[in-house]
Amino acid sequence: MTSAAAVVREFWRLMATNHFASVASVLAPSFVLEWPQSSERIRGPERFITMNVEYPAHGPWRFTINRIVEGEGDVATDVSVTDGVQHARAISFFTVAGGRITRLVEYWPEPFAARTDRSHLVEPIE
**Residue ranges binding its own copies (CB under 8 A):** 34-43, 47, 50-51, 54-56, 67, 69-72, 74-76, 78, 89, 91, 93, 105, 107-115, 117-118, 121-125
Write down the least CB distance from residue 17 to its own copies, Å: 21
Count of beta carbons in the 10 Å neighbourhood of residue 122: 10
Is residue 8 within 8 Å of 68, Cβ to Cβ? yes
Q: Measured from the CB of residue 19, what is the shortest distance to its own copies in angstroms?
A: 19
Which one, 98 or 115, has the nearer CB to its own copies? 115
Contact 72, 39 (CB under 8 A): no
Question: Which is closer to its own copies, CB of 13 or CB of 47?
Answer: 47
End-to-end CA distance of the chain: 41
**DSSP states of 71-104:** -SSEEEEEEEEESSS-EEEEEEEEEEETTEEEEE
Would you say 10 or 107 has its CB closer to its own copies?
Answer: 107
Residue 62 CB, shortest distance to its own copies, in Å, is 18
